[in-house]
Amino acid sequence: MLSPKKAHTKADFDCNSAVDVKNVHGKGRGVFANVPFKAGDIIERAPTWGFDDVAKNLLDSTGLFEYYFIRHDRQLKNDPAAGYIVFGLISVVNHSFNPNAQIVWTDEDSGAWARIVAIKDINVDEEITHRYTNISAYPDTINFVE
C-alpha cells in the first residue's frame, strides 16, 4: 500500500518495474528481469482475448501471427477459441528451447488469463524466455535464435 505521508515517484506506480523490454540482437524485443526471480515466482499476469478459427485465419496473414498464443489445454476444457491475444509484456517474451519461464493459463469469471511463471531462478538483467508451443506453425523464413 502506498503511504499517504511519503512523496511518491513514478516508479511507485509502475506495475512493470520488475521487468523491462530491451532490443535483442537477432530477435527483436525481449523481456528482461530488473529484479531477481525465484523458481515459482509470477513474473506477470495478463488478461487475454480468445478468438475463433475465422479470426485466426485473418490474423495468420498479419504480423500478429507472431504474437498470439495457442493453449495446449484448450481441448481438455472444450474451449472453442483457436488462439489468444495476451495483453501484457508476456506477448514479447522470446522463445527458447531451454526456457527459464512458462505460461500458465487460468480461466476466471472475467475470462482467460495468462501468467508467466519462473521455472528457474532468474538473475537481474537476464532475458526471460519461454518455449513456444506452436513452432511448427511458423513459416520456414523465421529462424529461432537462442
Question: Could you write out the three-class secondary structure of 65-120?
Answer: HHHEECCCCCHHHCCCCCEEEECCHHHHCEECCCCCEEEEEEEECCEEEEEEEECC
pLDDT of residue 57: 86
Contact 97, 146 (CB under 8 A): yes
pLDDT of residue 64: 78
Longest CA–CA separation in the chain, Å: 57
What residues does each domain of the chain span? 38-119+129-135
pLDDT of residue 10: 47
pLDDT of residue 61: 84
d(CA 111, CA 117): 19
Fold (topology level) of 38-119+129-135: Beta-clip-like (2.170.270)
Run means of pLDDT, 10 residues per run, the chain, 146 residues: 47 67 89 96 94 86 79 68 88 91 91 94 96 61 58
pLDDT of residue 75: 59
